[in-house]
Amino acid sequence: MFEGGLVEKVYYQNEKNKIIYDRIKNNSFKLLKILKDDNRSKVLLIEIDGQKLVYKTPIEKNTKVWQRILSIFRGSESKREYKNYIKILEVGFRGPKPLLYCEYKKYGITLDSFLVMEYLDGEVARLSDLDLVASELRKIHRKGYLHGDSQLSNFMIKNSKVYLIDVKLLKNIYLKPGEEYEFIYLEESCHQDIDVYDKTNWSYKIAKSLNLYLHWLGRVKKKIRRKDR
């Protein structure tokens, strides 16, 4: 229990990870680099006893009222991301190994949280890695999943192997159009046409129609918001 009835909940798998948690709690670590720091999240590269780690706080989802309410039922974003990375490894994909997550709750509502995982010493995928990325995306689809955020920057390359980052790994209930939509999203993130998937079949046409509609809807919403200002 903390001041104001704030409850801390921390999960780690072994004693070594508990030591990491204690060091972070006591600010006893070396900050190597700020990887990201904006209104959505803070991501730090830190070092503890010679081990490089990534510390991530989902600021936006920790502070939005609706996300806090949802956390009563599904836990924090840090908890969900921790479990998702475990799932990635369990079903046979590569990704950073999650070590621990911590939540700060009041009346069951998550007010703050963070995740710690091993640092993946790779490079963000580039256009030259597109064939590797497309092959990995097809592998995800063959196993009955969708990536969930299939832009090029959410794949990392290390020793010619593909690692998944910022992935939702959702069960594919949308069948072939869902797979095609992920390739369309990948193509948009490349900012140029790509030829690693078939654009002539019916499922592509369905997915592309949905994609165009969502872009149109987004533009309409922006116009409405500008008028309301």
Stretch 103-115: mean pLDDT: 93
Mean residue pLDDT of the chain comes to 93
Give the residue ranges of DSSP H helices in 58-174.
59-63, 65-74, 77-90, 130-142
Domain boundary among 83, 118, 153: 118
CATH number at residue 152: 1.10.510.10
Residues 50 and 70 in one domain: yes
Query: How high is the pLDDT of residue 119?
Result: 96
Q: So what's the pLDDT on residue 166?
A: 87
> Domain range spanning residue 141?
123-222
Give per-residue pLDDT as tens, 130-142.
Answer: 999 999 999 999 9
Which of 101, 118, 135 corresponds to the end of one domain? 118
Q: Is residue 79 part of a domain?
A: yes
Q: Are residues 15 and 113 in the same domain?
A: yes
Choose the final residue of a domain: 118, 142, 174. Answer: 118
What DSSP state is assigned to residue 97? P
In this prediction, residue 4 carries a pLDDT of 59
Same domain, 154 and 167: yes
Q: What is the pTM of this model?
A: 0.85
Contact indicator for 133, 155 with CB cutoff of 8 Å: yes
Residue 210, token pair as written in the block: 């949905």
Burial 79-105 (b: 16+ CB within 10 A, else e): bbbbebbeebeeeebbbbebbbbbbbb
* Separation of alpha carbons 196 and 17, rounded Å: 41
Query: Is 229 a residue whose pLDDT tops 70?
Result: no
- What tens digit of pLDDT does each residue of 14-60 get? 999 999 999 999 999 999 999 999 998 999 999 999 999 999 999 98
Closest CA to 11 of 115, 105, 112: 115
Number of domains, the chain: 2
Both 97 and 143 in one domain: the answer is: no
Give the CATH number for residue 114.
3.30.200.20
Share of the chain above pLDDT 70, in %: 98
Residues 6+ apart with CB under 8 A from 171: 144, 145, 146
Would the pLDDT of 176 be above 70? yes
CA 189 distance to own-chain centroid: 16
Are 150 and 179 in contact, with CB atoms under 8 Å apart? Answer: no
Same domain, yes or no: 55 and 133: no
pLDDT tens-place string over residues 147-163? 999 999 999 999 999 99
Same domain as 135, residue 89: no
pLDDT at 65 over 60: yes
